Amino acid sequence: MANVKMIDIAKAANVSLATVGRVIHNNGYVAEDKRKEIEQIIKDMGYVPNKMAQALKYSHSKLLGHMTLFSQNMLYEQISAAVDKAALSHDYHVMTLASHYDHGEEAKQIDELIAQRVEGIIITSNAMIDRELITKLVDIKIPVVMIERALNIPYVDRILVDDLGGVYVAVTHILEKGHRRIGFIGRYPEHEVEINRYNGYCKAINDYGLPILPEFIQLKPDYSILSGYQATKALMEEANPPTAIFTTSDIYACGVMQCLYEKNIRVPKDISIIGYDNTLATMLAPAINSVGLPYQEIGDWAIKLLLARMENEKAPAQTVMISTRFIDRKTVCEYKE
């Protein structure tokens, strides 16, 4: 039956509209037998509650906003999927808006999310966003959670990743296998995320009493397959090239593998490799070691922090540090000079 309304349910059950409302919203007493009868009529007639009307009445849209970035880096896609899943478990839906680097789209996106009456906004890894835009959301009492590249703003909760620790464990694994010439491919350290990944590499090398060799450091302007390819080409043209390569993203590792394939250099027999973020590692041949992020844990925390902020908008901002995990797929071999 099309366009069934609450009044139709009330007439069929021979009860008042208020009684039907108590059953649908589960917010008042209705005799058990009558409740079951009304629930059955609702099912038989195919009544679907008008969620927008309910939202207007009770000031709850059950809609969250998620601002992320267009990128070859599948880390954002993984976080987005985890946020969607966590939100649904709390009966929320997510409107996801993706922006391009340096296009200045964030202000319009925030205005759109406000117009859609979102109850909270998650911002994933966007270091370019203006602090004033975040403050604007706080001022109008829309909770904000920032993931990974996050600003330190009062009443804005943050989810950070232990990038330094994750890289340190991975590079230490390479060192423990006997490698001493270890290439590093990463993005220019302009943000805390990239700085921590680079520092994790340096700390592992230094803790083994080894110097940081500039010729083994390749810093690129973006996360892309081409950058990984170009970086590997430069590393392998060294007079004494690295015996292992660590990349700060699996997207770089794709370019590494393409370059090595062209040069007929085999992984892991001829050279060892580890990626980071574990988004593409299993799709390569062979599947490579990588540092994995617990994406669902990130999504769960994002929703948990938003819900807590809805309950207490003036609570001190929380920062949650997420640990990584090293995944060994045997692409680092023992090495002896």
Residue 162: predicted pLDDT: 98
Residue 1: predicted pLDDT: 47
Rounded to 5°, angle at Cα 223 from 219 and 227? 60
Q: In this structure, is the dihedral angle defined by the CA atoms of residues 120, 126, 132 and 133, taken in order, positive or negative?
A: negative
Q: Which domains does the chain have, with CATH numbers?
A: 6-49 (1.10.260.40), 58-161+295-323 (3.40.50.2300), 163-293 (3.40.50.2300)
d(CA 119, CA 62): 7
Residue 123: predicted pLDDT: 96
Q: Please report where in the chains the tokens 């803790």 appear, as a residue.
A: 207
Residue 261: predicted pLDDT: 97
Residue 90: predicted pLDDT: 94
Q: In this structure, is the dihedral angle defined by the CA atoms of residues 96, 97, 100 and 105, taken in order, positive or negative?
A: negative
Q: In this structure, is the dihedral angle defined by the CA atoms of residues 175, 323, 147 and 87, taken in order, positive or negative?
A: positive
Cα–Cα distances (Å) from 202 to 171, 195, 294, 303, in that order, read 9, 10, 24, 35
Cα–Cα distances (Å) from 263 to 54, 234, 267, in that order, read 63, 13, 12
Q: In this structure, is the dihedral angle defined by the CA atoms of residues 51, 55, 56 and 61, taken in order, positive or negative?
A: negative
Residue 56: predicted pLDDT: 46
Residue 51: predicted pLDDT: 52
Using 70 as the pLDDT threshold, list the residues of the chain that sit under it: 1-3, 48-59, 101-103
d(CA 325, CA 279): 13
Residue 322: predicted pLDDT: 97
